[in-house]
Structure 1
Amino acid sequence: MLSTKTLFARTVQTTARRALGTTTTRGKHTVPDLDYDYNELEPVISAKIMQLHHDKHHATYVANLNVAEEKLHEAQAKGDVAAQVALQPAINFNGGGHVNHTIFWKNLIGEKNGGGQLHDGVLKSAIENKYGSLDKLQQVVNGKTAGIFGSGWGWLTVNPSGQLDVVTTANQDMPSNIGHIPLLGVDAWEHAYYLDYNNVKADYFKNIWRVINWKDVARRYDEAMSKF
């Protein structure tokens, strides 16, 4: 039987490392490069927000995650289980911030490069079968995301039964924490929209669909369904 220390270490490391295989180097997490320029998502999301969001907010999660993991390794080497347990909230929060934002950047693309366009295919059929239409899905996601108390994320996921689902997570919690596979995330933290939309976050939720990279979402859906 695995020791309590070993089980805990595996849990926190899996939380921080999940879905990050291409964003680490020599054991350290790094902020992934964007596939587009900061201004490509305008007027939906301004270049100023993108630069702050990517270079400052995401970078802070990565820096704090690396520090917390280094402390975790030190605690493991000393056999200090109490210190490992104390580090779990920092690793979960910053690891989730890193994972969630890494997905978010890939979920976006400028309108001139296909943003907002969901073409015929398996994902579109699944959305229409479950929600009736893409417009109806957007309404469900926007409604649930607008209902978040405080900060968090709205998600289109594949649930443990292999069905499309819409869920929200608080703060930087990840859908994988509840057994869901994330396909599309909408960042509902104020730093994601406030400079452009002030307190009218409903407009942000409405407009972000114009820059959703449905090719990326469809790819994630295909990968998720291959597990069922």
Structure 2
Amino acid sequence: MTLEIPSLPYTTSALEPHLSAETVESHHNLQKAHLAQVNAAIEGTELAEAALQDIVRKAQGNLFNHASQAWNDAFYWASLKPAAGGGGGEPADKLADAITRTFGDFARFKAQFAAIAERTFGSGWLWLLQRGDGTLSIAATANAATPLTGDDTPLLACCLWEHAYYLDYRHARSKYVEAFWNIVDWRTVADRMK
């Protein structure tokens, strides 16, 4: 079975002005390149019929890096929604309640998320996670690392690789994270809760 990248759930320009069409297209093309590497590596192996998330959980080394990046990117794209289509704002209901219980309120959550993004060195990912006991946490992972290999449930991903923001924000990661809040699909994030 050849793994395929799902189409973006919106046009490449739909996230503007927060993420440009050029950034989205470039980033999505990198995701396709990662998946091409995965397909080449698993051909003729016991992983040839496996789902991408299963490959991430079983792989090591270069195969893990490519598979995890492809999975993380797919999760990231599904976490976003054009502002004109209802993206951004604040979470509601059970997600809002969980954020308030864990962080005090939404503003404190955003401030903590932004602070961790800013002090994360190099490339990686920033996640909102749900622990086994239902509480929430924020975690940064380096490079291609993913919570998919652990016990926590990922709810939201923010890509901290430069290709996710450099064309639009240069080295100003904080401006990218500030813009990120305008395109988060809080309904999808809430639907991922257990």
- Give the alignment partner of residue 33 of structure 2, picking from 36, 60, 75: 60
Q: More helix by proportion, 1 or 2? A: 1
The answer to whether residue 180 in structure 2 is matched with residue 175 in structure 1 is no
Aligned counterpart, 1:69 = 42
- Asked if the contact 1:96/1:172 (under 8 Å) is kept, the reply is yes
Q: Cα RMSD between the aligned structures?
A: 1.5
- For structure 1, list consecutive stretches of 5 or more residues without a partner in the other structure: 1-26, 75-86
- Asked if the contact 2:117/2:174 (under 8 Å) is kept, the reply is no
Q: Secondary structure at the match of 1:184?
A: strand
- Asked if the contact 1:118/1:215 (under 8 Å) is kept, the reply is no
**Percent same amino acid among aligned pairs?**
31
The answer to whether residue 188 in structure 2 is matched with residue 216 in structure 1 is yes
Aligned counterpart, 1:35 = 9
**Deviation, structure 1 residue 178:** 3.1
Moved more, 87-96 or 39-48: 87-96
Moved more, 159-168 or 184-193: 159-168
Q: Secondary structure at the match of 1:162?
A: coil
Please list every run of at least 4 consecutive aligned residues from structure 1 whose deviation after the TM superposition is greater than 6 angstroms.
none
Aligned counterpart, 1:152 = 124
- Asked if the contact 2:15/2:83 (under 8 Å) is kept, the reply is yes
- Asked if the contact 1:108/1:115 (under 8 Å) is kept, the reply is yes
The answer to whether residue 94 in structure 2 is matched with residue 122 in structure 1 is yes
Change (3 A) 1:66 1:113: same
- Asked if the contact 2:125/2:158 (under 8 Å) is kept, the reply is yes
Aligned counterpart, 1:193 = 165
Q: How many residues align?
A: 183
TM-score scaled by structure 1?
0.76
Q: Secondary structure at the match of 1:141?
A: helix
Q: Deviations over 1:124-168 (max 9, x none)?
A: 111111111112111111111222221100000012333111001
Could you tell me how far apart the structure 2 residues matched to 1:195 and 1:187 are? 14
Q: Deviations over 1:86-124 (max 9, x none)?
A: x72122111111110111001001111111123531111
Q: Which has the higher contact order (CA 8 A, sep 6+)?
A: 2
Map 1:7-18 onto structure 2 (within 5 A): none
